Amino acid sequence: MVLNLFTRQFGHCSPISSVMIEVRELTKTYSDLRRGQFVAVDGISFHAQPGEIFGLLGPNGAGKTTVLRVLSTILCPTAGRVRVNGFDVLTQPDLVRYQIGFVSANTAVYDRMTAWELVEYFGRLYGVETNTLRERMENLFCKLQMDEIRDLLGAKMSTGMKQKVSIARALIHDPPVVIFDEATSGLDVLVARALLDTIGELREQGKCVIFSTHIMREVERLCDRIAIMYRGHILSEGTLHELLESHQQSDFEELFFRLISEHDQQHAAAGIST
Ligand SMILES: Nc1ncnc2c1ncn2[C@@H]1O[C@H](COP(=O)(O)OP(=O)(O)OP(=O)(O)O)[C@@H](O)[C@H]1O
Ligand SMILES: [Mg+2]
């Protein structure tokens, strides 16, 4: 209901804010039987703009997915403020959901729906008007080279095919923000490359793309700005050039390892368990 009202009121989801993603002092704590109160994200801040690919780079357990789940309103922040296109994730979650398309390595594709049915279903759920929906679907199926899987059931799709359907599903309401969480995981090099090309095109269209990965090559190739995340903290943030220059490094992989080992050393010296 709220979603449909929003569509009627705003028509489409064009940017109304020049800072598309605003994360301020975000903390997320989980209650865990083994670890008790566990701080997965510890007071991080960053922002991202339309027409920009912002990379969250970090090893397993760094807190990337947690941040992205807060951004997409799946999780509530424990502290801090998060806004998407000017809307607050805590007080305006329905409006935030309209701003975002979310693609992860394990976005569900329903076994008993064809590619076409699934994308259409999500388009309707977002209240996209019938003619616009049809036009967008034709464009997306053509662009993502999905025409041959139009009538294929989810149960019969390969990982790469499912990923394409997930992308079409994430873009069907034309959101200004598209989030990719480890989206190339499980894809062969050809499909992964095609996905990275698609992400580049989204930037050209003015979308704000948030791209999380632990693969440095992807970040180097794709991202305009990068935040290096480790154990719930952002260790450094900037363009690739800025990161290398400010830490006097010429190699990104070396810089990544150096930042992590410095963080561990500082915490060990301070007697903090990391
Ligand atoms: N539901 C949960 N309950 C308790 N702890 C959780 C939960 N979800 C995540 N965590 C913990 O929070 C930390 C950050 O996890 P998160 O999934 O955000 O990391 P990530 O950077 O996405 O890692 P990966 O690269 O493996 O996907 C980890 O220590 C994880 O065990
Ligand atoms: Mg993750």
Ligand 1 atom with the smallest distance to the CA of 30 is: 4
Q: What is the pLDDT of residues 206-261, one digit of tens each?
A: 999 999 999 999 999 999 999 999 999 999 999 999 999 999 999 999 999 999 99
Give the residue extent of every domain in the chain.
2-268
Q: Please tell me the residue having the least CA distance from ligand 1 atom 11.
A: 40
Ligand 1 atom with the smallest distance to the CA of 69 is: 18
Q: What is the CATH number of domain 2-268?
A: 3.40.50.300
CA–CA distances in Å: residue 134 to residues 5, 43, 119, 142, 145: 21, 43, 10, 12, 16
pLDDT mean over 48-65: 97
Q: What is the pLDDT of residues 140-170, one digit of tens each?
A: 999 888 999 999 999 999 998 999 999 999 9
Decide whether any atom of ligand 1 lies within 6 Å of the 40 Cβ.
Answer: yes
Query: Quick check: 17 pLDDT over 90?
Result: no
What whole-number distance in Å separates Cα of residue 93 and Cα of residue 209?
19
Q: Which residue has the tokens 């209240």?
A: 127
For residue 187, report the distance from its CA to the centre of ligand 2, in Å: 16
DSSP structure class, residue 150: T
Q: Which amino acid is at 11?
A: G
Decide whether any atom of ligand 1 lies within 6 Å of the 37 Cβ.
Answer: no
**Residues whose CB is under 5 A from ligand 2 (ion)?**
64-65
pTM of the entire predicted model = 0.91
Three-point CA angle 214, 244, 43, nearest 5°:
55
Which residues are CB-contacts of 239 (< 8 A; sequence separation ≥ 6)? 224, 225, 226
Decide whether any atom of ligand 1 lies within 6 Å of the 225 Cβ.
Answer: no
At 40, which helix (H) or strand (E)? strand 36-48
pLDDT mean over 49-77: 97
What whole-number distance in Å separates Cα of residue 101 and Cα of residue 232?
24
Q: Which of 28, 57, 64 to mutate to test the pocket of ligand 1 (most atoms within 8 A of CB)?
A: 64
Confidence of residue 273 (pLDDT cuts 50, 70, 90): low
Query: Quick check: 187 pLDDT over 70?
Result: yes
Query: Quick check: 104 pLDDT over 70?
Result: yes
Return the beta strands (E) in 49-121 as ranges: 52-57, 79-84, 87-88, 100-104
What whole-number distance in Å separates Cα of residue 258 and Cα of residue 243?
12
For residue 227, report the distance from its CA to the centre of ligand 2, in Å: 15
Query: Quick check: 200 pLDDT over 50?
Result: yes
What whole-number distance in Å separates Cα of residue 160 and Cα of residue 256?
29
pLDDT of residue 15: 54
